[in-house]
Each structure stands twice: as C-alpha cells, then as structure tokens.
Structure 1
Amino acid sequence: MKTYLITGGAGFIGANFVKYLIKKYGLSAKIIVLDKLTYAGNLQTLENELDKIEFIKGDICNRELVEYIFTKNNIDYVINFAAESHVDRSIESPEIFLKTNILGTQNLLEVSKKAWLIGEDEYKVGVKYLQVSTDEVYGSLGDTGYFTEETPLDPRSPYSASKTSADLIVKAYIDTYKFPANITRCSNNYGPYHFPEKLIPLIIKNIIEGKTLPVYGDGKNVRDWLYVEDHCKAIDIVINKGTLGEIYNVGGHNEKQNIEIVKIIIDIMAELTSKEIKYREVLKTEVGNINENLIKYVKDRKGHDRRYAIDPSKITSELGWYPETKFEDGIIKTIKWYLKNQQWVNGVTSGNYQQYYDKMYNEARQNIIK
C-alpha cells in the first residue's frame, strides 16, 4: 500500500485529486490530507471521503507538524497543492503568498529529504515529491507560440513570482541533493468544486442570481483551459511514471478569450434553464434575462498577462497523457454540476463552510466522551 501526503487537499484541484485517487485505487492507497483550511480550503468538498482518508488541519510551514506526520507514517509520495493561488489577493497582500508558497514548499522539501535519505544522495526506493505549479511562471505570450518546459521563467504577479520561487527551490533540491522530485505546470483548471471567486464559477453564480458579469479590460486575455479530472490523471501518471527531476507541462489544448468563456456560459445556461425545469428552478432571475446584456467590462487587473498557452507534447510523448475532455463537453458538465450543487456554492459564498471543520471536530469529541 502506498501512502500519499496531499497538502492543500481540501482546495479545488487537491480535493478533486483525492476523489480521483479514491475512485482509482480505493483502499489500496492510504491518503493523508494536510490543509490549513483558509478561505480556499473547504472540508465539505471532502465530506463523502472523510471516512476513507486521514485529515489533518495544519500549515505546511509548521516544521514540527510535518515532521510528526512523517514520523507516524511511512510516506511514499508528497503532492504539494498547498498554495495561496488567487492572483487578485496576491496583488493586495503579497506577504502571505511568499510565506506559504515559498517557505512552506522549502519546509516540505527539507522534512521529506531527511525522512527519505538513506545515504549520500541516496533515497528510499519509490519515494517522490511532486510540486504542482502553474503556467503563470512563464509570464505572458504574444499572439503566437506556446510555453514549453524550456521557456524562460518570467512571472508578472506576486502570486506567479512566489510559485516561480517555489519551483526554483524544488529544482535546487533536485540538483543539489539529487532529491527525487518532479514539477508539473498546468494551465487554467475548471470543473466541480471551484472557488466562486474564479472566472467560470463566478460567471455561473452571477447568472443564477441575475447579477452583472464582470470582465477585466477588453476581455480578450487568452487562457488555456484544462478540465480538472484530466489534470488529476496527469498528476497520477507523473507520480508513477515521470522521470525523476523532470518538469512536465500539462495543458488542455483549449485556448479561449475570457469574453468567449463568458458568452459560452451565457448561451449554455440560457438553453439549459429554458429546456429543463430542474435547472430553471435554481434561477433567482428570469430565463429571458440570461443574455449578453449582463456583461460589464471593468478596470483591468494590474499586470494582467495577455495570453497563456501550454505545449503538453512532452508529457504526451513520454508518459502517454493527453487531455481527454473537450472544452465543449467539460463546460457543460461543469455548469450542470453547479446548478445541481447550489448548497455547496451557497455554503462557500456565505462563509459557512469555514465552520464545518469545527463542527465536525466538536461532534467527534462528543462521541468520544459518550
């Protein structure tokens, strides 16, 4: 049985990865989730998985806690999703991004190295650390070209600078200590359980509520969209088959302008809610109000990168991964999920999800006392 330490496992991609592991491996894998449960961590997302995992509320910067986890468990894999990841928040408050994303990563690396080291530059067989990074470390592209693993790093925001720094620390451990690690850099993920501040869930939420749809600048910033389950499959493949020390770009072959995304969601939601009562009942507005008149262009974000586009040919040719979900299919699945799971969305929006851990912890204590 392999033991996974998944940091940030209550966040969007991390929680989807936990669900993917359980679905694929069942009880043949031991899963430990370490999450600080900040605004982006939602334990309710893992509510149906809590009996199949070990959950620990804590900070990856806490050396004593991480060492304790390694002491009590024979950890085979560390997958580091834990990160402050909202670009707008990094512009307002950079310091917390630097602390978590850089120092937290170094803490995980150091504890892992000490636990796995068995000789001079020699480690236990089969162990691996995987740093989940982002295409934003490459900066911005022009109208043509793609990010490859050889593209120079050129971050433009405090968030991307902190992720770039973390990547460089991982690479330093690989080069200096021969540490068994990989780095993956993904394009924009979308799918179930995405925090409502992000573009796609925010547009869905605002349409449901009949609110305006904010679009930065002229709306022509381009992103490459990757369905989150396809990303989870890529991570699993890199853990099991990736060559130690290598970096793998994970992209979706789905380049879209932000304004295109907004218009696509408008069209799909107008069609779904007009045809099916179960979706129409979710709306807090009239179906006829779902149109492009909701779009409102707002002041552009500071340092807003114009275009991201990833070339995933390396992970495809070397490991056999490819994005299986076409955007046309993935966006419909995503919209339907949000329409069907308004209780989850409302819990996140209201902030009630942040009390879920305390409620669960108190109930567990009461059961022990009884």
Structure 2
Amino acid sequence: MSDNTLDTLKFLLKDSRKLSEQFAEFKIGSQQLSQQLNNAIADLEERIAQLEESQSNEGNLPVSNFSQSFSNEEIEHLLDLPLEKILDVYSEFPQLLEIVCRRVSVSINEDSPNPILERNNQGNYWVLQLREQGFFLLPRFGSFVRMTALESLQRLFESEGKIPDSGNHEFLLKQPAKLELLKRNQRWQLAEKGLIQFGEAPLEFRWQQEIRQMRDRYQEFTKMLEKVGEAGLQATVISQRWQQELEQRYGEPVSIMINTCMPMAYAIYKGPTLVPCHVILTKGICLVQPAWDRGVPWDTSIYAKSHSRNVLRSSPDHPILANQPYFKEITYLKEQKNQTWAIANTYQDASRIISLLNGNWGSLEDGTS
C-alpha cells in the first residue's frame, strides 16, 4: 500500500471518528431538548387548567368583554421627541411617521385665515402630537404632485423659492405648522403657519437620485466594458477623473472643438485654457474625453494663430450636421483645403458629434449660412 493511500485512509478514519462523536453529542442534546419541551408543555397545561378554573368563579371579567373594552378606544400616539429630530426623520424617511400620525384634510368650504382640518383617510396632511409641545401639521409624503394639492398647501405653509408650474413639486419642510385641538382625534385648527422651501429635495429624494445615477453609471460601465475591454474602461475612468479635476480647477468647459475632417478634438476652459482631448472610436463607442488633468494657455497653443474665431453655421439641409456652429482652420497652403471644427458645449455633445462624423469625415465649409 502506498504512502498516499495510507494517508488518505487515516484522514477518512479521523473524519469518521469526529462525525461519530458529533452524532453522539447531537443525540444527547436532542434528548435533553425533548425533555425540556415536555416539561414546558406540562407546565403550560397546568397553567391553562388554573386559568379555566379561575374564570369559572363568579365576578371574573370574561376575556371577550375585556378585549371589547379596548376596541372602541383609539390609541394615543404621543411622541416624546424634540421637534428637530422629527424634522430629521421627515426629511430622511417620512414613511416612518405615518403610523404615529393622523391623516387629515382641510375642511370643505373653509375660507377662514385659520383653516380647520378634519380626519380624512384620503387627506394630504399628517397631524402629529408631541409631548408638552402640542400638535403639528406635516405635508403627507407623496401627496403633492398636483397643483390643486399645492393650493391648499399654500394656505397652511409659508414658502421660500419659486413654486413650480408643473412637473416635479419637491420641497423641503423647514418648519411644521402648529395646530390647536378642537375635538379629540377629529378636528384641529391652524394656529401658526409652517415653512417649506420649494426647489430643494429632501434627503430621501436625493438618495434616490444618487442611487439612480449610480445604477445608470454601473450600466454604462458594464456596456462599455463589453465593448472596449478592461483596458479601455480603465482609460475611460481615468479620463473622467481628469474631467472632474479640470472642472474643480477651471470650472465647466466653455466649448469643445471637434475636427470634422479627422478624429481630433480639444477643449477650451476659462482663461482661456486649452486642454487636449482623446477621441475614442472603437467597437461602436464614440467618445471625446480630456487627455490631461490640466491645460495650457490658449495664446501659447499651436491653434492660437491658425483657428479663426469667426463662427459660421452649416446649412439646414446638411446630411450629417445640419445648422452646426463651426469655424475654419486657416491654412497658408494653396493646395490644402481648409479644415473645419465643429463647436460643442459639453463632452457629451462632442461625443454625439463624433458619432455622427465617424465614417463621414469632411469639411463643413460647403453650404454655410
């Protein structure tokens, strides 16, 4: 028998012995657990018998009547928290407050400067009671997507910022409205208006937006990885980091210049400052990205003297870039035709132009307006 076979048998014997010991321990443990369960069941049966005997005695309150005595009494939700903490919760996770609030709406035909609010399971507001602080009114999460709801909101809350005419009606609650109790659990009257700020999303919405952006970026990177491979993706990530550093140093780019005759581009930042760009054309990917994290003064660049600042526009019926702003590159060679450079405002727009030009390179000088 070989040494390897002998070692294998020893290993199996060791595992078998360990398994046997564990099974024995499990069997003993199971017996102990079974005994504990039997004891618990016997104890429970004895307690049930004692309970049945006590209920048969005269004067005891039946269980059904005991539970019924609480069914008609509404539970009071009285929170012992500072108002600042409530605002933090409302800003981050407003749904958590719904179980401790009463849903209300403005009373119909209520024209008083201090409107009355009544219980309504379809209402747009929450009433919250805080210990030793009174009653407060909060806009119910997700109820203000219609202008009619916003109209009642303005009767109860002062507002900062511009109220949107349509679209997304996000706002930040800065101070809840204060209420006076008229009828317990049923009616309240406005005592002091609250304060909201339009145009600023609560943290929960900002988190949702950030998560959505992260998901979109992940999908974008996944698609790019499939097309350009790991090396291409790494280069793209580096370029995007450079783009962020450029924006921190110079601000947003003023314009991106794309050569319409060959894959070349550069960006202009404030200063003016020129930043060379990469043009990526591979496997269906067309991108314009910064090639460095800083630029050079425009006056010292090679394009300062050869690029005209006279902005032209291609013809409306141009087959590739209709009505596209561009300028000509000045050349002093008679046999060489002037090249043209399309003007974009962002890297995304520049990438779009490159995707249209790919396979259709040529001057935009013909058919200008």
Normalized against structure 1, the TM-score is what? 0.21
If you compute each CA radius of gyration, which structure gives the higher value, 1 or 2?
2
Q: Answer 1 or 2: higher relative contact order, Cα 8 Å, separation at least 6.
A: 1
Q: Higher strand proportion, which one? A: 2
Normalized against structure 2, the TM-score is what? 0.21
